[in-house]
Structure 1
Amino acid sequence: MKRGNKVYRKQIGTLLLAATMTAAAMLTGCQGTTKADTTAAEQTGTSAAQAESSGEDKLVVYFSSGMAGGAAWGQAEKGFNDACAELGWEGHYLAPQTPGNTQDMVNNTETALTNGADIILIVLTQEDAAEDVMNRAVEQGVTLIGIATDNDIPAAYIGTDPVNLGYSVAEALIQAMGDKPIKVLTMQSNLTMEQQNDQVAAFEEKLKELRPDAIVADKTECMSNAATAQDKISASYLADPDINCMVSFDSYAGLGGAAFVQENGLQDSFCVVGIDDAPEILRCVQDGSMVCTVAQHWYNVGYDGAYLAKAVRDGGQYERGNDSGTTTLFIDDIDGWVKERGIDMGE
C-alpha cells in the first residue's frame, strides 16, 4: 500500500451493525480482553451449535498470518478464533515458520486454497508475491480480506492505518521527550516490509513537522526478537552515545529497548517508545524502562476481520477500508486501560 492512496475509516462498528452484527466487538488488540455481553452470535442467531443442529455445512475459514503468538499476533489469533466460534465456522490460523517470512506466508495461503477455504484473511507484507494465489482464490469464489495492509484484490481490509500509526508514534515520542534534544533510532520487524516502511516514513514526516531539530540516527530491524533488538540498540548506542531514544514498530523492538535501559540503568536518560499492549509491555511502562507504548488493537483485527468477511460474503453493507486504531499509553494510563480491557497482567 502506498501512503495516501487509500482512505481509512474508523467505521467497523457501523458496518457490523448494518450487517446485523455486533458493534460490541471493539476490544483491544493485545493480551487479555473481554467481549461485550451481547455477542454478534446472539444478534444474528448464529452459533456453532445452531449450525450443527440445522445441518448446515460450516464455512472453512483460514487466517494466513504474519507470526505465531506474540504480543500482537497472539491477540489477532484469539479474536479470530472467538469470532469463528460465535459464527460456527471451521477456523484455521496459519503462521510462517519464520515471523514475517513472505514465502512461508504465500505457501500458507496456497495451503488454505488447496484445503477448500471459503474465506481467507491474508496478511500482505510484500503484495506482489501473493498476487497470483490471491487471483486464483478470487476466481474460485473465495472471499478475501486483507489484514494489516491494503491491496486491490481483497474485497476489503482491516488493520492499523500505517500513516496514522507513524504519526501517533511521532507524537508519543515528542510528548515523552518534552524539550530535550531528540536523536532517535527506529526499529521494525524487517526492513523489507512495505507496511512498516510506510509507518516509519510517516513517523519521520510528522517528526520533521513537529520537531525540525530532531535527528533520525538510524533505521534498523529486529526480526521480532527482543534479544536481537537489545543487541542492536546497544551497538548503536556504543557507536553514538548521543542517541537518546528509540521508537518501536515491532513489539519485540520495544521489549529489547526496555531490556537495554534496565541493563544499563538508563531510565532517566534513554527514552523507549514501545508498541502494542501485551502485559509484558505494560509492565515495562510501569517500571520506567519504557516511557510509553502505542497500543494497536490487534484483537479487533482478528475478531472484526472475521465479521467483515461475513458482511462481504453475505452481501451486507461494509466499508472497504477499516482502521482498527491505536491508543498511546503512559504510566498514568495503565491501570485504567488494564481494567477497561480486562487485561491479565500476571505476576
Structure 2
Amino acid sequence: MKRAFAVGVATVLLVFGFLITFSVGYFQSQSLNLLEGKNVFRKNGYRPEYHFAVIGQADDTFWKSVREGCLAAASEFQVAVEFNVPRFTNLEEQMRYLDIAIASKVDGIVTHVLDEEKFTPLIDKAVDAGIPVITVEAEAKKSKRNAYVGTNTFNLGREAGKLVLEAMGERANIAIILSDYIDGAVNVPQNLRIAGTKDALENMPGMTIRTFSSSAGFFSAEEVTRRILIDYPEVDAIICTSAKDTISSAQIIVDLNKVGQITLIGYDDAPEILRYIEKGVIYGTVVANPYEIGYESIRSLIEIKKNRMTSTYVDTGAKVVTYDNIGDYTDTLTKNADEEQSEP
C-alpha cells in the first residue's frame, strides 16, 4: 500500500515538474523578442522610447517573417516590441494576449484579427484607453482601429486565379482549400479571396470552382487533398490559402503520383514551397510580403505616437513566384538577407 502510494506521489510530481518546465519554456519563448530588443538597446547605449505589443496567429513561416519585419523596425526606431504568437491557431489565446496588452498599458498594439465580431470590443477598449491599434493581415473595419497594414485579400485571390489561367488555359476544375480557423465563424478575408479568384475567371465558362475547408492541424490539408483527388477525379487544379496547406497538398500530390496531372497554386514563400516549385510540383505561389507587413505596422505606430496620425490603409502588395522567375526571386531573398546581416 505504501509502495503504491509512493509511486502515485512520484508520478504526480513528475507530471507537475513537466508542466512547470513546459510552461516556463513556453512563456520564455513568448517574451523572447522583448528580451532581444532590450539587449540591443543595452549594447547601443539607449533606452526604448516606446513598448509595443504584437499579437500574431500560429507560429509558421508567414508569422516568422512578420516578426523579423517588426524587429527590424524596432531596431531602427529604437522601440521595444513584444511578439506574442500562440503555438497553434487559438482565438481565445489571441484575445487573452490582446487583453493583457491593454491591461499592461503598452504604447501601441499590432494585432491579427481572427474574428472581427469578437475582436472589435477589445480593439475599441484599447483605443478608448489611448492605445493605438494596427490590424494586420485580417481587417476589423467596424472597430476603432487606427490603421490596417497588409495585402488586399481580394487581390491575393485574383492573382491565384490568374495563375490558374496561365497554367490551364480557359478550362479547369478547381478546388480551393480554405484554412478554417474558427468553426462556424464567417471568415471575411477568405470570402474576399474566393471573390478575387472568381473575378479573375469570370469570363471563362469552362472554369468550375469548389471550396473545401481544412482545420488548424498541420496534417488536415493532407487529408482534404487526398479526399479531393479520390472523390473528385475531375479536379485538375488546387488553390491553397496558407503555407501549411500548400506544403501538405504538395506532399499528397507527390505521394499519389499526381505530379504533372494536378496544377497546384500555393501561398507564401516558405523554403519548402520554393523547392516544390523548382521540382515542378507547385506551379506557382502568391506571396503577401509578411516582412513588409511587420515593418510597416511598427512604423505606423511610430507615426501615430509622433504625429498623432498615419495612413489608415497600407497595402503591402503581393508577388507571384513561378518556375520562370524563381531564380531571380531567390537571388533577391539571398541579397536582402546578406544586407540585413551586414548592417551594424
Place the TM-score, normalised by the shorter chain, in its bin. 0.7 to 0.9
The answer to whether 1:130 aligns with 2:119 is yes
2: distance between equivalents of 1:305 and 1:218? 32
2: distance between equivalents of 1:57 and 1:122? 21
Deviations 1:77-106 (A, max 9, x none): 11112211222212111112431x322211
1: distance between equivalents of 2:61 and 2:163? 20
- State the secondary structure of the residue aligned to 2:245: helix
The answer to whether 1:96 aligns with 2:86 is yes
| Structure 2, unpaired ranges of 5+ | 1-39, 338-344
Q: Which range moved further: 324-333 or 184-193?
A: 184-193
User: In the alignment, is the contact (CA less than 8 A) between 1:48 and 1:87 conserved in 2?
Assistant: no
Pick one of 201, 207, 220 that aligns with 2:195.
201
- State the secondary structure of the residue aligned to 2:213: strand
Give the equivalent residue in structure 1 for 2:73.
83
The answer to whether 1:321 aligns with 2:305 is no
Output the TM-score relative to the length of structure 2: 0.79
The answer to whether 1:106 aligns with 2:106 is no
Code of the residue aligned with 2:153 in structure 1: it is P
User: In the alignment, is the contact (CA less than 8 A) between 1:311 and 1:317 conserved in 2?
Assistant: yes
- State the secondary structure of the residue aligned to 1:96: coil
1: distance between equivalents of 2:217 and 2:299? 28
User: In the alignment, is the contact (CA less than 8 A) between 2:174 and 2:239 conserved in 1?
Assistant: yes
Ranked by relative contact order (alpha carbons within 8 Å, sequence separation 6 or more), the top structure is 1
Pick one of 300, 304, 307 that aligns with 2:299.
307
User: In the alignment, is the contact (CA less than 8 A) between 1:51 and 1:58 conserved in 2?
Assistant: no
Code of the residue aligned with 1:174 in structure 2: it is L
The answer to whether 1:336 aligns with 2:325 is no
The answer to whether 1:115 aligns with 2:104 is yes
2: distance between equivalents of 1:297 and 1:97? 22
User: In the alignment, is the contact (CA less than 8 A) between 1:297 and 1:326 conserved in 2?
Assistant: yes
Q: Pick closer, same or farther for the CA change 1:316–1:136 going to 2, 3 Å.
A: closer
Pick one of 159, 163, 168 that aligns with 2:150.
159
Offset of 1:244 from its aligned partner?
A: 0.9
User: In the alignment, is the contact (CA less than 8 A) between 1:98 and 1:104 conserved in 2?
Assistant: no
Q: Pick closer, same or farther for the CA change 1:318–1:136 going to 2, 3 Å.
A: closer
- State the secondary structure of the residue aligned to 2:325: helix
Deviations 1:231-250 (A, max 9, x none): 11111211111111110111
User: In the alignment, is the contact (CA less than 8 A) between 2:178 and 2:211 conserved in 1?
Assistant: no
- State the secondary structure of the residue aligned to 2:212: strand
CA RMSD of aligned residues (A): 2.1
The answer to whether 1:169 aligns with 2:160 is yes
Offset of 1:194 from its aligned partner?
A: 2.1
Q: Pick closer, same or farther for the CA change 1:57–1:262 going to 2, 3 Å.
A: closer
Deviations 1:18-74 (A, max 9, x none): xxxxxxxxxxxxxxxxxxxxxxxxxxxxx9469854xx6531111111122x12111
Pick one of 56, 59, 64 that aligns with 2:55.
64
User: In the alignment, is the contact (CA less than 8 A) between 1:125 and 1:195 conserved in 2?
Assistant: no
1: distance between equivalents of 2:72 and 2:211? 40
Q: Which has the larger radius of gyration?
A: 2
2: distance between equivalents of 1:48 and 1:174? 50
2: distance between equivalents of 1:76 and 1:168? 21
2: distance between equivalents of 1:78 and 1:96? 17
State how many pairs are aligned: 291
Output the TM-score relative to the length of structure 1: 0.78
1: distance between equivalents of 2:44 and 2:100? 25
1: distance between equivalents of 2:288 and 2:118? 26
Deviations 1:301-347 (A, max 9, x none): 00111111111221166321111111111112111001112278xxx
- State the secondary structure of the residue aligned to 1:184: strand
1: distance between equivalents of 2:311 and 2:195? 26
1: distance between equivalents of 2:176 and 2:116? 23
User: In the alignment, is the contact (CA less than 8 A) between 2:277 and 2:283 conserved in 1?
Assistant: yes
User: In the alignment, is the contact (CA less than 8 A) between 2:74 and 2:81 conserved in 1?
Assistant: yes
2: distance between equivalents of 1:121 and 1:135? 13
Give the equivalent residue in structure 2 for 1:147.
136
User: In the alignment, is the contact (CA less than 8 A) between 1:77 and 1:302 conserved in 2?
Assistant: yes
Code of the residue aligned with 2:95 in structure 1: it is V
Offset of 1:287 from its aligned partner?
A: 0.6
Offset of 1:293 from its aligned partner?
A: 0.6
Code of the residue aligned with 2:310 in structure 1: it is Y
Aligned-residue sequence identity (percent) comes to 18
User: In the alignment, is the contact (CA less than 8 A) between 1:222 and 1:253 conserved in 2?
Assistant: no
1: distance between equivalents of 2:145 and 2:306? 15
- State the secondary structure of the residue aligned to 2:205: coil
1: distance between equivalents of 2:327 and 2:150? 26
